Amino acid sequence: MLAIAAALVLNALRDSILFFSTPTMAAEKHIQPGQRFRLGGMVREGSLVRGEQLKVKFDVTDGNSTLPVTYQGILPDLFREGQGIISEGALDGQGVFKADTVLAKHDENYMPKAVAEELKKTGHWKDDYDKKPQKAPGVQGSVSEGTRK
């Protein structure tokens, strides 16, 4: 009886166990408008458009699919095109991801593992992504966060 209960709980939580979904995963899951989730991928080169009152638009891609994102607030200092990000929010009725939090890489060598794997699968992986300089013992990269005010 306990095993059946555990299996039911794990099955119900399997989608929330993932840290984030890539644009391809979001399309495959048919995520409904208004349902909150984390979106991870690379900011597509040439897609960043800054507007008034800290509004920004950009595309997140995993090399296979692309999802437009809008955000209003202060972006992390190191946010830029071509880098890995994770954002939290929900899709609107037009299929645009409305982010209320944007996380950007802090260490120039950081890339979410799932994004790296997806880039390798789609042939967008660059060999120099694997070349990481040695860090001093005890030094770790972190994530810089921008949140809506």
Domains of the chain and any CATH numbers = 32-127+142-149 (2.40.50.140)
What pLDDT does 125 receive? 61
What pLDDT does 148 receive? 46
What pLDDT does 12 receive? 66
What pLDDT does 127 receive? 57
CA distances for 84 relative to 7, 113, 149, angstroms: 34, 10, 23
State the DSSP code for 127.
Answer: G
40 neighbors 20 (Cβ within 8 angstroms): yes
pLDDT tens for the chain, 149 residues: list them: 888 888 887 766 665 555 788 899 888 888 889 999 999 999 999 999 999 999 999 999 988 999 999 999 999 888 999 888 999 999 999 999 999 999 886 554 556 677 677 777 776 666 554 554 444 444 344 444 454 44
Residue given tokens 């954002």 in the structure block: 87
3-state SS, residue 21: strand
Cα end-to-end span (Å), the chain = 47
What pLDDT does 78 receive? 80
Provide DSSP, 56-101: EEEEEE-SS-EEEEEEESPPPTT--TTSEEEEEEEE-TTS-EEEEE
Quickly count: other Cβ atoms within 10 Å of residue 58's Cβ. Answer: 24
What pLDDT does 112 receive? 63
Joined together, the tokens standing for residue 67 give 């999802």
